């Protein structure tokens, strides 16, 4: 048993989709969430810059004595996860676009990957495509501006619906029947995607990553005692008040109760 917290980080609110799954699956685990909003968005930044930020964030999380780090950002996972694992003594769990389950369930074998430029251009994504994408038509869609909509808490608005329509309509019209959400921010746009394209399946790996994190904790004897209170600490590199307001807009008001700012 290990009462130390689990660290989670993202460039902003996107990783909260993974945090929510963790809190539902393991409510007794303490969590420290680092929102690197001063450097949001990661997606358009060069990989070397994202890697540098990832190292800085992990150093800060280790100062909070975390026992495991969830890189709840596809772009940061693509740019830095291998180097992070090599450099630090704690286990890491990262994000990988869910191409494998998407290919396995796509009736048309036509899949749209909605992800940031940093993820789509990364070596990690290329390996995933090589391993699981054979025999499938894959549309890579960077979705410019989508993460920014989520970061401002604008999900469920006319602007959000229009943005996902612009991004996905060409691929869906061409026969894509499955959309992979390759950015944790995009998980909050899933209702908008379903509203615009009701016949399209959506693959989101947030819960799978949360389950993998719990599996790693169990394998390493790092689970928190079952009687522990699942507290949440927030670290925000940018505007804290703005971040907390976006959390409220996204339905995390209850998580803010008692959260350490």
Classified as helix, coil or strand, 21 is helix
Nearest to 246 by CA among 159, 164, 158, 147: 147
For the record, the structure tokens of 6 come out as 């689990």
Element spanning 242, H or E: helix 240-249
Nearest to 95 by CA among 87, 107, 84, 109: 84
Catalytic residue among 26, 73, 76, 168: 73
Q: How far is CA 214 from the centre of its chain?
A: 16
For the record, the structure tokens of 16 come out as 């909260």
234 and 33 in contact (C-beta within 8 Å)? yes
Q: Can you tell me the distance from the alpha carbon of 141 to that of 165, in angstroms, rounded to the nearest whole number?
A: 12
- How do 137-141 and 110-115 pair as beta strands? parallel
Q: What residues form DSSP beta bridges with 68? A: 6
For the record, the structure tokens of 224 come out as 């928190």
155 is catalytic: no
Q: Can you tell me the distance from the alpha carbon of 122 to that of 113, in angstroms, rounded to the nearest whole number?
A: 14
- Over its C-alpha atoms, the chain yields an Rg (Å, rounded) of 18
Nearest to 138 by CA among 187, 171, 105: 171
Q: Can you tell me the distance from the alpha carbon of 169 to that of 171, in angstroms, rounded to the nearest whole number?
A: 6
183 is catalytic: yes
Catalytic residue among 22, 26, 129, 183: 183
Which residues have a catalytic role annotated? 73, 183
């Amino acid at each position: 048993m290990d009462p130390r917290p689990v660290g989670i980080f993202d460039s902003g609110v996107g990783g909260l989709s993974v945090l929510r799954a963790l809190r539902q699956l393991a409510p007794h685990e303490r969590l420290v969430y680092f929102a690197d909003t001063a450097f949001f968005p990661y997606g358009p930044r060069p990989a070397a810059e994202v890697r540098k930020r990832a190292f800085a964030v992990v150093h800060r999380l280790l100062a909070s004595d975390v026992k495991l780090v969830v890189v709840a950002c596809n772009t940061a996972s693509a740019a830095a996860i291998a180097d992070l694992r090599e450099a630090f003594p704690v286990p890491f769990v990262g994000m990988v676009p869910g191409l494998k389950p998407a290919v396995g369930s796509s009736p048309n074998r036509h899949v749209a990957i909605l992800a940031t430029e940093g993820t789509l251009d990364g070596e990690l994504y290329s390996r995933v495509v090589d391993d699981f994408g054979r025999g499938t038509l894959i549309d890579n869609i960077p979705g410019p501006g989508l993460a920014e909509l989520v970061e401002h808490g604008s999900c469920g608005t006319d602007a959000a619906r229009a943005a996902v329509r612009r991004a996905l309509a060409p691929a869906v019209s061409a026969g894509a029947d499955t959309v992979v959400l390759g950015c944790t921010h995009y998980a909050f746009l899933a209702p908008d995607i379903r509203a615009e394209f009701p016949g399209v399946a959506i693959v989101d790996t947030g819960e799978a990553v949360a389950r993998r994190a719990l599996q790693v904790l169990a394998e390493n004897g790092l689970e928190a005692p079952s009687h522990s209170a699942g507290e949440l600490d927030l670290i925000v590199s940018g505007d804290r008040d703005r971040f907390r307001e976006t959390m409220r807009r996204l339905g995390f008001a209850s998580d803010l109760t008692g959260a350490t700012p």
